A = this chain, B = another copy of it.
Amino acid sequence: MNEITSLERRPEGGPGPIRRTALHDTLVSHLRDMIIEGDLAPGTRLHEGQLGEQLGVSRTPLREAIKYLASEGLVELVPSRGAVVKRFSAKDVQDMLTVLRSLEELAGRLACEAASDAGIAEVRALHDEMVSRYKAGDRLQYYKLNQQIHTAIAQLSGNAALADMHGVLQTRLKRIRFIGHEGPEKWAAAVAEHEEMIAALEARDQARLSEVLGRHLTKAWERVRDSV
C-alpha cells in the first residue's frame, strides 16, 4: 500500500447511467483511503507539489480535494503551512465512539420501524457473508463487511441526516478500527453480538436492537482502548 499510486479517471465500467465521474470524487476517496490505510500517517504534512506528482494531478484539484477532506475532519488546515493529517487522541476516539453509539442506538430504533423486509434481508445477507469470512479467518474482508453492516443499518433508518452523520464518524474512526486487532475470543464475542443484532432487527425489536448496538460499540472501545 505504500507504493506510488497513480490515478486515472474512473473508467465507465458496466451499464447504468453514463455518469461521467469527476476527478474530484476520485481524488477525495483516494486520499481518504490513503489516510485510513495509513499511507499518510497522522501528523504527516500533505505536500501539494510532491503528492500531486505522485498522483499525476496538478495542484489545483488536489487542493480542492484537501479542503473537502478538511471539512470532513480528516485533515487540518494550517494557514500558510498547508494541510496535515489530523491526529486523534484517545479521548477524541472515546468521544467519537460515544456519539457514534448514540447515533446507532437511534438508528436501531428507527430501522425497526422504517426498514423494508427487503432491506433487512440485505443486511442479513451481508451478515451471513461476514460470518463466513470470519470462519475463514479473513480479517480484512470481515472488517469491511462489518463496516458495511453498520452503514446499512444507519441507512435502514430512512433518516438521511442520521446516515450522513454516522458516515462521517465512521470514516474518522476507520483508521483507528483498522488498527485494532482483537484476539480470537474477543473477535468471537463481536461476531456473537452481530448475530444478536441481526436477530433483533429481523424481529423488529427496537429496544433490543438499540441495546445490542450500544453494547457492541462500548465493547469496541474496550477492544481498541490500548492500541490508541
0/1 interface trace, chain A 151-185, chain B, CB 8 Å (1 if under): 00000000111101100110010000000000000
Q: Which B residue sits closest to A105, measured CB to CB?
A: B102
Q: Which of A122-165 contact B (CB under 8 A)?
A: 159-162, 164-165
A79 at the interface (CB under 8 A from B): yes
Tell me if B22 and A98 are in contact (CB < 8 A).
Answer: no
Q: Min CB distance, A166 to chain B, in Å?
A: 9
Q: Which residues of B contact A60 (CB under 8 A)?
A: 60
- B162 near A99 with CB under 8 A, answer yes
Contacts of A102 in B (CB 8 A): 102-103, 106
Which of B20, B69, B95, B110 contacts A161 (CB under 8 A)? B95
- Residue contact A77 to B24, C-beta cutoff 8 Å: yes
> What band does the interface of chain A fall in when counting residues whose beta carbon is under 8 Å from B?
35 or more
A72 within 8 A of B: yes
Count identical subunits in the complex: 2
| Most chain B CB neighbours (cut-off 10 Å) among A22, A24, A79, A99 | A99
| Residue among B67, B99, B103 making CB contact with A67, cutoff 8 Å | B67
Residues on B with C-beta less than 8 A from A162 are 95, 98-99
Instruction: Render A62-87 as a binary contact track against B, CB cut-off 8 A, 1 for contact.
Output: 01110111111100010110000000
A103 to B161 CA separation, bound complex (whole angstroms): 12
Indicate if the CB atoms of A20 and B99 lie closer than 8 Å: no
CB distance from A199 to the nearest CB of B (A): 24
Point out the residue from B67, B98, B110, B165 that lies within 8 Å of A64, measured CB to CB.
B67
Contact, CB under 8 Å: B165 / A168: yes
CB distance from A227 to the nearest CB of B (A): 19
Cβ of A190 under 8 Å from chain B:
no
Determine the distance from Cα of A79 to Cα of B61 in the docked complex, in whole angstroms: 13
Q: How far is the CA of A72 from the CA of B70 in the complex (A)?
A: 10
Besides A60-B60, A165-B165, 9 other A-B contacts (C-beta < 8 A): A68-B68, A68-B70, A71-B72, A92-B160, A92-B161, A99-B165, A102-B102, A165-B169, A168-B168
